[in-house]
Amino acid sequence: MTIFQAPKGTYDLIPPDSAKYLAVREAIAAPLRNSGYGYVETPGFENVELFARGVGESTDIVTKEMYAFETKGGDRLALRPEGTASVLRAALEANLHKSGNLPVKLWYSGSYYRYERPQKGRYRHFSQVGAEAIGAEDPALDTELIVLADQAYRSLGLSGFRILLNSLGDRECRPVYREALQGFLRGLDLDEDTRRRVDINPLRVLDDKRESVRKQLVGAPLLRDHLCDACKAYHEEVRELLTAASVPFEDDERLVRGLDYYTRTTFEFVHDGLGSQSAVGGGGRYDGLSEMIGGPALPSVGWALGVDRTVLALEAEGIALELPASTSVFAVPLGEEARRALFAVVTGLRRAGVAADFSYGGKGLKGAMKSANRSGARYALVAGERDLADGVLQLKDMESGEQAPVALDSAVEEIRARLA
C-alpha cells in the first residue's frame, strides 16, 4: 500500500510545533491591528500576468520559481509566489482606493509557493505575514511599517536581528544609475543568463549570491551617488524618524531585494543565527506597481515577514515561547452514567471559555489518566457511580497530585475560579 508523503520542499505543521507558528503569526499581526491595518485574504492562485508584470519578468521568481499552469478552461494561472501584487489587485478590484481615506492599510497571512532548491529556511511552500499601506507617499508611513515589524520581533523576545536600509531611487534618478551600472557590468565575465539580466534589470545582478559574481561587483557604482535631491531628502527623513523612534538600523548600499517593483525605501530584517538564509523578512516602497498592473498611480509601501524563518530565529536564540495550554481540564468518566454527566460538564466548561477535553473510546482509569497526562491538562475531572450518587466530581491537580471533591451542580464555576 502506498504511503503518501508531503511533496519535496514542503512540510506539515502538526502539534505541538504548530502552536509556535500560530503564536508567531499572532505576535506579528498584533501591532498591525493596533495601528489601523485591516485583514485581507486573497486566492492562493492568480493570473500569471499579475506576477509577470508586478514582480518582474527578469526576476528569478517569475523566470524560474513560479508554479504556473493552464486550467481546463484555458486560463493561465500561478500559485502566488508573494503577497503584495495580490493584495494590491484585491484593493483595486474592490475600489478601496476610492474611499477617500488613504492610505488603505491592510495586513494578511497565508502560504506562498516558489520552486526553490529545498534547504533549511528555504522551502517550496512557506508562510508569511504581510502588511501594505496603499495610496500615500510619506516617509512616516515607511517608518511606521519598519517600526511595527521591529515591535513584533521584540515582543517575541528576539534581539539578534538587524535592520538593513537602503534607497533605490525613483523613475527620475534610477535611469541614470541604471545606465552607469550597465556600463560597469558589461565589462565583467558573466554567464549568458546574467548578461541578459544586465540588459533587462541590472539592479538584480547586485542581488546575485554567487561568489564568482560577487567578487566582480567590487567597485560597482553605488545608487546613493546617483539619487536625486528629492530621493535623498526622502531617505534622510526615514532615517531620522527611525532614530527618533529608537529603532536601530544599518545602511546597506547594496541592498536591492528580489522584486522589480521597489522604489525609494527598501529594507530587510536579517538574523545572523540563520547562516546563509539570514533574511527573516523585508519590504519597501513600490510607487509604480499599481500602474504596472493596470491601476491608477498609487504610491504604496509594505513588507512580508517569514513565519518559518522567524521560528528558526527563535530557536537560534534559544527562546521558548509561553504558549497557552491546549487543555486545562481533562474529564475521565468511569461508567455510562458518569460519561453522560461529565460530557455535559465539559460542554459547559467549553462554553465558559475553559479549554477542556474528554476521555473517548471507553478507556479504563489507568489509560484515561495517561491521556490526561499527555494532554498537559492542569486538572483531571474524574467521576464514577458513587461520586454521582453523592452529587460530586473528583478534581485532581495534575501538578501537586492533590484531589478534592467539587459539587456537580457548581463544577463549572468552581473550576473557572481555580484556573483564574
Sign of CA dihedral 333, 337, 341, 343: positive
Contact status, residue 236 vs residue 143, Cβ threshold 8 Å:
no
| 257 marked as binding residue | yes
| 121 marked as binding residue | no
Contact status, residue 296 vs residue 94, Cβ threshold 8 Å:
no
Query: Three cell numbers at 252?
Result: 546597506
Contact status, residue 51 vs residue 68, Cβ threshold 8 Å:
no
Q: Are strands 250-251 and 161-167 parallel, antiparallel or unpaired?
A: parallel
Query: At residue 262, what are phi and psi to the nearest 5 degrees?
Result: -70, 140
| 84 marked as binding residue | yes
| 261 marked as binding residue | yes
Q: Which of 303, 264, 2 is nearest to 139 (CA)?
A: 264
* Strand arrangement of the beta sheet that strand 45-47 belongs to: 45-47, 76-79, 68-70
Q: How far apart are CA 247 and CA 239, in angstroms?
A: 10
**Residue where the block lists cell 475600489:** 95
Q: How far is CA 381 from the centre of its chain?
A: 39
Radius of gyration of the chain measured on its C-alpha atoms: 27
| Cβ-Cβ contacts under 8 Å for 214 (sequence gap 6 or more) | 208
Sign of CA dihedral 383, 384, 389, 390: negative
Query: At residue 133, what are phi and psi to the nearest 5 degrees?
Result: -120, 110
| 128 marked as binding residue | yes
The one-letter amino acid code at 113 reads: Y
Sign of CA dihedral 123, 125, 129, 135: positive
Contact status, residue 107 vs residue 129, Cβ threshold 8 Å:
yes
Query: Three cell numbers at 90?
Result: 484585491
Q: Are strands 38-39 and 104-113 parallel, antiparallel or unpaired?
A: parallel
Q: How far apart are CA 292 and CA 142, in angstroms?
A: 21
| 401 marked as binding residue | no
Annotated binding-site members for L-histidine: 82-84, 114, 128, 132, 257, 261-262
Annotated binding-site members: 82-84, 114, 128, 132, 257, 261-262
